[in-house]
Structure 1
Amino acid sequence: MNAATQENKPKIPWAFIGKVLLVIIIIYSHIYFEKDIEERKLLAQFLRGLYSFLIPSIVLSMFRFLVIMLYNARNSKKRERGNFVLGINRLTAVLNTIFFVIAIMTAFGINPKEFITSMTIVAMAIAVIFRDYITNMISGLIVMFSEQLSVGDRIKVGEHKGRIIDITFANLVLQDEEDDIVMVPNNMVFTSTFMNLSAHQSSLFTVRFELPLEVSLHFEELEEHLKLSLVTHPNLKIKDDEFKIKVIEIGKDMVRYKLDLHAVTNSNRMHRDIENEILREIIKFERKILKSS
């Protein structure tokens, strides 16, 4: 079985199955051991707590599965830029957390409604203290359910620029051009200058590679060699004055480089094919230099 087949293979929802089995066991216990359970107050409260978590959680999981299935069926032939599924998954996690807290209260004999009412003033104080996090969370939900951004997009927010690798309730997680991870608060999308560089699937792509120091001494030769071989490439748009290999990092025994190129289309497959061609040329050049030295 190849990797693609394994990746597309549906995952077994073990957590959902476990919840359903646990509910069945509790219902069975209530039917056959009702008197014994009622005589033990703590056990009865604990089981009510489990009920108050498991049943809403199971219903929520079924609703989530149905919504995602309908969404995927509706958009199976379109490339959606939004993060609808990501937003549904995050929202489900929040609701499950709320159900769990309510279940804990129920298990300890605390009435959730009375507790929330009595804690209103404290809750307002907490809301003020954690105002930034709450607004970040709301901004994150807006981003997840909108089509402004999507995981994989290249964006620029304020002074930060990179590719989105995750969207959380607190931050956009970016990977910048130096492969560093940058956490950008969600609020910045709405409060600072924002650019989505991938809104129309940019034809720009980057080839990264590294060379030993002895080969890097012939950097100008490599740049000229690649320029001559790529300037007439049918799938690239290259201007003589724009072709430039950039040095990213100089290490103890190697130098890292990157080369920004524009293809004729935004096809990721084409970008990968061109990148492989360039890397093969670099390997040939490296072998040539090492043999002659």
Structure 2
Amino acid sequence: MIAKAEDNKPRFPYVFLLKVFLVIGLIAADTYLAAEIAQRTKLVQVMRGLYSFLIPSIFLSVIRYIVIFLYNARHKQRAVRGNFVLGVNRLTAVLNVVFALIALLISFGINPKDFITSLTIVAMAIAVLFRDYITNMISGLIVMFSEQLSVGDRIKVGEQRGRIVDITFANIVLQDEEDDIIMVPNNLVFTSTFMNLSAHQSSLFTVRFELPLQASLEVEELEEALRVSLTTHPNLSDKPEDFQLKVIELGKDFVRYKLDLHAVSNSNRMHRQLENEILKEVIKFERKVLKSS
């Protein structure tokens, strides 16, 4: 099951309170058991490691809460594009992992600065080996904090099309029309053709189809049959100029058409439903022509 992006609803801060209680416990132990603790080197290192993780993590949680609160307050009068909150949460998770690693080094008596310095060459090699993942991660952060797209948008990246159900550091997770899950690398947003089909919704939509050459000879009858069945449709504009059937390609044994229509709404769901109805009418026309010939 694909993990959904975090929503904006407030949740009871169990983890945050647990961190606060642990810090209070550590401070109390330092105050009342200082002599006993000082005699145990390993325990001192572990406590320093816990301090190194818990205190920065608590401050980070407070900053995260303030940033999200101010963001929601600023956008309360309009629809909020939720991937900003998603980006803040993911970035917070990464920083917490960094704090945890530093705390682990301190718990084992290792100076984090010396350790990182000694691994500089190894770190460079790792950066080269995992270059694609690192760039994907950076691209994911840019996408999360961008106003270009959001969870729930319908997009087209290269040849892939679908609705965004999640944004991770590695991929944009899409759900296509057949409910299949597609994992699109974040880098593709910046290196290939990208379209946000939800950003500027329009009542205009296009239906493309093809007919065998034999059925296409009756193009005027096809246009009239579609016009009769669609002009009275409650979800379509009844203006004659809003109905345009065009031939876009002539093959050896087929003809491809494009039908431009205006719906009464810019709902993508309505457009797909109308497209389905129109294609059914085309199939009926094709059967009728081929049967009579």
Q: Same fold (TM over 0.5)?
A: yes
Q: Give yes or no for contact 1:82–1:149 (8 Å, CA) kept in 2.
A: no
Amino-acid identity (%): 69
Which one-letter code corresponds to 1:79 in the other structure? Answer: A
Q: Which residue is 2:164 aligned to?
A: 164
User: Aligned Cα RMSD in Å?
Assistant: 3.0
Q: Which residue is 1:93 aligned to?
A: 93
Tell me how far apart the structure 1 counterparts of residues 40 and 131 of structure 2 sit (CA, whole Å). Answer: 43
What per-residue deviation string (whole Å, max 9, x for no partner) do you get for residues 46-71 of structure 1? 11111000000000000000000001
Is 1:46–2:40 an aligned residue pair? Answer: no
The 1:57–1:231 alpha-carbon spacing in structure 2 relative to 1, beyond 3 Å, is farther
Which one-letter code corresponds to 1:136 in the other structure? Answer: N
Is 1:142–2:142 an aligned residue pair? Answer: yes
Local SS of the residue matching 1:150: coil
Tell me how far apart the structure 2 counterparts of residues 108 and 128 of structure 1 sit (CA, whole Å). Answer: 29
What per-residue deviation string (whole Å, max 9, x for no partner) do you get for residues 9-35 of structure 1? 742110001100111111111100011
What per-residue deviation string (whole Å, max 9, x for no partner) do you get for residues 186-215 of structure 1? 00000111111111235589xxxxxxxxxx
Q: Give yes or no for contact 2:154–2:197 (8 Å, CA) kept in 1.
A: yes
Tell me how far apart the structure 2 counterparts of residues 13 and 262 of structure 1 sit (CA, whole Å). Answer: 48
Q: Give yes or no for contact 2:140–2:169 (8 Å, CA) kept in 1.
A: yes
Local SS of the residue matching 1:172: strand
The 1:129–1:262 alpha-carbon spacing in structure 2 relative to 1, beyond 3 Å, is farther
Is 1:181–2:175 an aligned residue pair? Answer: no
Structure 1: gaps spanning 5 or more residues: 1-6, 206-226, 243-260, 279-293
Q: Give yes or no for contact 1:82–1:146 (8 Å, CA) kept in 2.
A: no
Q: Which residue is 1:109 aligned to?
A: 109
> Which contiguous aligned blocks of 4+ residues in structure 1 show a shift greater than 3 angstroms?
7-10, 201-205, 227-242
- TM-score calculated relative to the size of structure 1: 0.70
What per-residue deviation string (whole Å, max 9, x for no partner) do you get for residues 137-163 of structure 1? 011111111111111111111111111
Q: Give yes or no for contact 1:81–1:148 (8 Å, CA) kept in 2.
A: no
- TM-score calculated relative to the size of structure 2: 0.70
Structure 2: gaps spanning 5 or more residues: 1-6, 206-226, 247-260, 278-293
Larger-gyration structure (1/2) = 2
Tell me how far apart the structure 1 counterparts of residues 174 and 237 of structure 2 sit (CA, whole Å). Answer: 28
Query: What's the offset of the Cα at 1:180?
Result: 0.4
Q: Give yes or no for contact 1:82–1:148 (8 Å, CA) kept in 2.
A: no
Tell me how far apart the structure 1 counterparts of residues 202 and 13 of structure 2 sit (CA, whole Å). Answer: 37
Tell me how far apart the structure 1 counterparts of residues 123 and 105 of structure 2 sit (CA, whole Å). Answer: 16
The 1:267–1:51 alpha-carbon spacing in structure 2 relative to 1, beyond 3 Å, is same
Local SS of the residue matching 2:174: strand
The 1:58–1:204 alpha-carbon spacing in structure 2 relative to 1, beyond 3 Å, is farther
Q: Give yes or no for contact 2:8–2:85 (8 Å, CA) kept in 1.
A: no
